[in-house]
Chain A
Amino acid sequence: MNLDDELAELMHRAVDTLDPPTDRLIAGGVARGRTLRRRRYFTLAAEGATCVLVLVAVAAMTVQLITARTHGTSASAGVKPSPAIPTLTAAPPEGTVAVTGQVMAQTLLDLLPAELGNVRVVRMAGRSFTGFAAAEVVIDDGHGAAELAISMTYRMPNHRNIVSAECSDPTVSTDVVCRIMTDGGFLSTSHGGGSGIATKWQVQLGRTDNVQIELTEWNAPAEKDARQTRPKPPLTVSQMTTIVGSGRWQTHVSAALAARAASLFPTEKQPTPAYTNAPPSAQTTEPSLPHVNQPPSAQLSNPTPALPSPTTPSPLVTLPTAY
């Protein structure tokens, strides 16, 4: 026999009747794609010294959560309405700058429950032209260190469509609980999986303004190559949902807030605000953050805007963890 002539046929005969778990493959692929994208952005941020739009921070600092809130909030009282959400095509509101990694870290610290104790900001990245900002922190509440990652994706309308397609197709959403909201957005939660040793829980909110907020947590101090330190990640899914639903997550924030966050989490390179066209005086007109003295529970109980209620039952499909 001439193997050169027959090998193709043999190979096809061997694999053509394989029946792989397509749904699980796709769900796992999408999950990995999200992780790859987040890692890629952090890598780009770390290497982005040549780009003036890159806001980079690779910092290792330990801050008390309450201290962070003290420095990161204004003296105004109460929760004020969130600024209008800019559309992708609209010019950024006057006096605002694109969200930075520092702002993401600051906002996450503001929204985390106080009982989580010490929070160490480990990575921050924000790139206005890619429409992505993120921060990763490690918390230690005395029950074991755990990593949390928050990210905001905007300027990538296709992405929202891709992810929201999972909500519409229960054969794809094999490892997540996904709900279409009344306003057309979606909320997906996933808990129990992870690509490494650690258990990963994740909540994603896809808003109708093409902004996606993603909060991920592990029961280990690092996503990869770290031992589990606790049975479960620190936040409940309900707490995670409240955080991603907060109106504090905005694509453009006040220059004052960005500057304050940058000073709180100093970077190797000072951030270069994108799209800023406001005079310095405009900083004083920006919306304020929740009051510093407000108890965390009060902040969490008043997310603005509130999440729309789901209109359809969750197409939950329980399958083994994809990887």
Chain B
Amino acid sequence: MRDPDGFTAFAHAQSRSLFGTAWLLTGDWHASEDLVQEALGRMYRYWHRIDRIENPAAYAHTVLVRAFLSQRRRRSSTERPVRELPDAPEREPDHALRITLADALATLSKRDRAVLVLRYLEDRSVEQVAVDLDRSPGAIRVQSMRALSRLRDVLGEDTTELVHP
């Protein structure tokens, strides 16, 4: 059996979705790679106890978001996400959507961005996000509404075009 413990299989299965989450958080290709590697590294470290985790895939995404928040705190506060498009071949990529969405998300605080990604990309409940980010559900609701409002303002007229290209 080549991978009896399942880590590489798990990493293969999850790396793409982890990368998507990372990209929305960072808006940067290389920063996303860095973030996914960090999340996988943390999962690897505790992999021998993975049986204790009910949903390893969801847990990995939470680890990634927490790593993102932690990394951003450690780095310079003046650092801003830089939009980069991948060189890798893709399946009908919507570059316009990516650019617009990345620009809009970049105007949010890191924590607002994390809340929106967990709520909307990961489809997590307010209560779950509150647990993941160690905040109260009320705080997450307020943060989510504020972030959505900000995003709506930034996107403006682009929104309709994005939804119905």
Contacts and interface: CB of A to CB of B under 8 A. Distances in A.
Interface stretch (A30-38, A113-121, A136-144, A300-308): A30-38
Contacts of B134: none
Contacts of A165: 2-5, 7-8
Interface stretch (B34-42, B125-133, B135-143): B34-42
Contacts of B101: 10-11, 14
A37 B16 CA distance: 24
Given A12-B121, A17-B90, A7 B116 contact: yes
B139 to A, nearest CB: 18
B19 to A, nearest CB: 4
Task: Decide if the interface of chain B is mainly helix, strand, loop or mixed.
Answer: helix
Contact of A29 (B32, B44, B148): B44
A146 B62 CA distance: 36
What is the interface residue range for chain A against chain B?
35 or more
Contact of B45 (A18, A24, A25, A33): A33
Given A22-B15, A26-B8, A322-B37, A169 B159 contact: no
A34 B45 CA distance: 7
B54 interface: no
A257 B110 CA distance: 53
Contacts of A6: 159, 163
A230 interface: no
Contacts of A26: 8, 11-12, 15, 40
A18 B159 contact: no
Nearest to B85: A18
B58 to A, nearest CB: 16
A18 B86 contact: yes
Nearest to A36: B45
B70 interface: no
Interface in B7-27: 7-8, 11-12, 15-16, 18-21, 23-24
Contact of A20 (B19, B24, B152): B19
16 contacts: A1-B159, A1-B160, A1-B163, A10-B101, A10-B162, A14-B23, A15-B23, A17-B91, A18-B23, A20-B16, A25-B18, A25-B37, A28-B33, A37-B44, A169-B3, A323-B37
